[in-house]
């Protein structure tokens, strides 16, 4: 193959040093031009001629020194070339080994950089999801405040019930249980919200550390990528005198670097898992709380509905009884009026008989006898008196019964008014306001 067609090989350290030593000898040496008058007499030089033997000796010494110089030069050139070849190969081997190690470290950095980026994305997602859970808790708290207002309104309105209707009925008991449940769930929401705040702060701190670590690794990877492209022909290389001292004083060992990186990664995974666990707890708390509140609300509504139904039945019974009492009062008043009329007639009849007896007692002398008429008048007065006594007793009983009916009517009217007020409170106020009770979806923060 022709020499001109051989491919160019990459220059090594040895190739950068030229072995052409003739360039130094070929340089022109400038000498001053001096003219001599060869014809002029010089008595001083005529008496200083060297002998021929000295001249031969001088030439032999000169040539001998030249031979020794060439030999010494050859030895030096051989040693120099050998040192160049050996040291250049060693430097090339060290540079190749450093390049491979830099490449390996770059791959390791890139691997951890990928891991850090993945866990960083997970932490960012966890922050967003926890913020969403926080909003759900806050919405649930707003709904809980509405429920608290409804329950408090019902309890306050039912405190206005009168007399015996102001009782601890099943509806009242369930309303008190609902208020206790609202307080319990409200405290649970507050504790959960505090846990979310703490976890969000932890996630943010971890995110900052991961971002800084990823940024440092990204910068280190770029630096090592630049180092992989450097060689002896690179135009950007330069001398750095203090780099070895600085490296020994400031750089961490690879084991320390791996411990720090792995510790941060494991801590980030733990924080991410804790965040996921907290989110699952939040969802579970919201669902269970919503179900408990909704279940208690249904229990309260059922108890109120039953109490309203019972109150309506009792109220209707009272109304019916009141109508009967009023009718009986009318009959009683009519009976009393009849008794009074009969008693009045009997008293007049008695007065008539007594007047007759009194007039007959005024008969003169022997005419004042106890004849049949006299006996009849006495019997009449006696019978009328007994009848009046009986009728007066019946009048007393009728009036006593009338007073009892009047009192019963008053109590029935009061109870009817109380029942109407109770029905108005429970049906028109409590049931109406409880119709605005939040749904399950609102209670879980959706």
Tokens (6 digits) for 343: 């008693």
Which contacts of 314-318 are long-range, i.e. CB under 8 A and separated by 24 or more positions?
314/419, 315/416, 315/419, 315/420, 315/423, 318/412, 318/415, 318/416, 318/419
Stretch (H or E) spanning 419: helix 372-423
- Answer whether 130's CB lies under 8 Å from 279's CB: yes
Q: What is the pLDDT of residue 30?
A: 43
Report the distance separating Cα 54 and Cα 60, nearest Å. 10
Q: What is the pLDDT of residue 12?
A: 41
Dihedral angle at the C-alpha atoms of 421, 425, 429, 433, nearest 10 degrees? -170
Q: Is residue 339 part of a domain?
A: yes
- Answer whether 412's CB lies under 8 Å from 326's CB: no
Report the distance separating Cα 294 and Cα 271, nearest Å. 34
Q: What is the pLDDT of residue 10?
A: 40
Q: What is the pLDDT of residue 163?
A: 82
Q: Is residue 100 part of a domain?
A: no
Q: What is the pLDDT of residue 61?
A: 77
- Answer whether 99's CB lies under 8 Å from 228's CB: yes
Residues in the chain: 446
Q: Is residue 46 part of a domain?
A: no
Which residues, in sequence order, are CB contacts of 79 under 8 Å at separation 6+?
Answer: none
Spell 215-243 as b/e; 16+ CB within 10 A means b: eebeebbeebeeeeeeeeeeeeeeeeeee
How far is it between the farthest Cα atoms of the chain? 243
Q: Is residue 269 part of a domain?
A: no
The number of distinct structural domains making up the chain is 1
Q: Is residue 23 part of a domain?
A: no
Q: Is 363 helix (H, G, I), strand (E, B) or coil?
A: coil
Q: Smallest Cα–Cα separation from 329: which of 399, 393, 395?
A: 399
Which residues, in sequence order, are CB contacts of 292 under 8 Å at separation 6+?
Answer: 181, 185
Q: Is residue 296 part of a domain?
A: no
Query: What's the average pLDDT block by block, 10 residues per block, for the chain (446 residues)?
Result: 38 41 39 45 55 77 74 77 74 84 90 92 94 92 92 89 85 92 94 94 94 92 87 79 70 84 93 93 92 92 91 89 89 89 90 87 79 85 90 90 89 88 88 86 81
Q: Is residue 194 part of a domain?
A: no
Q: Is residue 248 part of a domain?
A: no
The residue segments making up the domain with residue 376 are: 318-360+372-444
């Amino acid at each position: 193959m022709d020499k001109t067609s051989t491919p160019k090989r990459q220059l090594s350290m040895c190739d950068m040093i030229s072995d052409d030593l003739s360039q130094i000898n070929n340089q022109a040496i400038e000498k001053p031009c001096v003219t001599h008058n060869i014809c002029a007499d010089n008595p001083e030089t005529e008496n200083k001629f060297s002998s021929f033997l000295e001249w031969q000796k001088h030439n032999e010494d000169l040539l001998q020194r030249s031979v020794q110089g060439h030999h010494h030069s050859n030895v030096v050139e051989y040693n120099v070339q050998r040192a160049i070849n050996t040291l250049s190969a060693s430097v090339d081997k060290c540079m190749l080994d450093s390049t491979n190690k830099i490449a390996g470290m770059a791959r390791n950095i890139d691997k951890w950089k990928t891991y850090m980026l993945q866990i960083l994305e997970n932490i960012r997602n966890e922050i967003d999801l926890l913020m969403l859970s926080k909003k759900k808790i806050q919405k649930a708290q707003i709904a809980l405040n509405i429920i608290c207002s409804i329950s408090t309104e019902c309890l306050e309105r039912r405190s206005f019930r009168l007399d015996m209707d102001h009782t601890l009925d099943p509806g009242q008991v369930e309303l008190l249980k609902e208020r206790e449940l609202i307080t319990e769930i409200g405290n649970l929401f507050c504790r959960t919200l505090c846990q979310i705040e703490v976890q969000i702060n932890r996630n943010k701190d971890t995110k900052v550390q991961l971002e800084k670590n990823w940024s440092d690794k990204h910068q280190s990877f770029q630096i090592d990528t630049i180092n992989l492209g450097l060689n002896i022909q690179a135009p950007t290389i330069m001398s750095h005198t203090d780099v070895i001292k600085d490296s020994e004083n400031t750089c961490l060992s690879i084991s320390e670097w791996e411990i720090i990186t792995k510790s941060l990664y494991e801590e980030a995974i733990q924080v991410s898992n804790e965040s996921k666990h907290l989110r699952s707890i939040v969802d579970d708390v919201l669902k269970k709380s919503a179900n408990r509140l909704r279940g208690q609300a249904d229990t309260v509504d059922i108890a109120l509905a039953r109490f309203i139904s019972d109150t309506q039945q009792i109220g209707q019974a009272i109304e019916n009884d009141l109508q009967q009492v009023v009718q009986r009062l009318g009959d009683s008043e009519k009976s009393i009026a009849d008794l009074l009329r009969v008693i009045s007639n009997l008293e007049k009849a008695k007065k008539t008989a007594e007047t007759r007896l009194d007039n007959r007692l005024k008969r003169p002398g022997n005419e004042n006898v106890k004849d049949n008429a006299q006996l009849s008048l006495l019997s009449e007065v006696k019978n009328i008196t007994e009848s009046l006594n009986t009728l007066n007793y019946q009048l007393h009983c009728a009036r006593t019964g009338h007073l009892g009916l009047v009192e019963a009517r008053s109590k029935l009217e009061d109870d009817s008014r109380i029942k109407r007020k109770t029905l108005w409170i429970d049906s028109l106020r409590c049931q109406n306001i409880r119709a605005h009770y939040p749904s399950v979806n609102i209670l879980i923060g959706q």
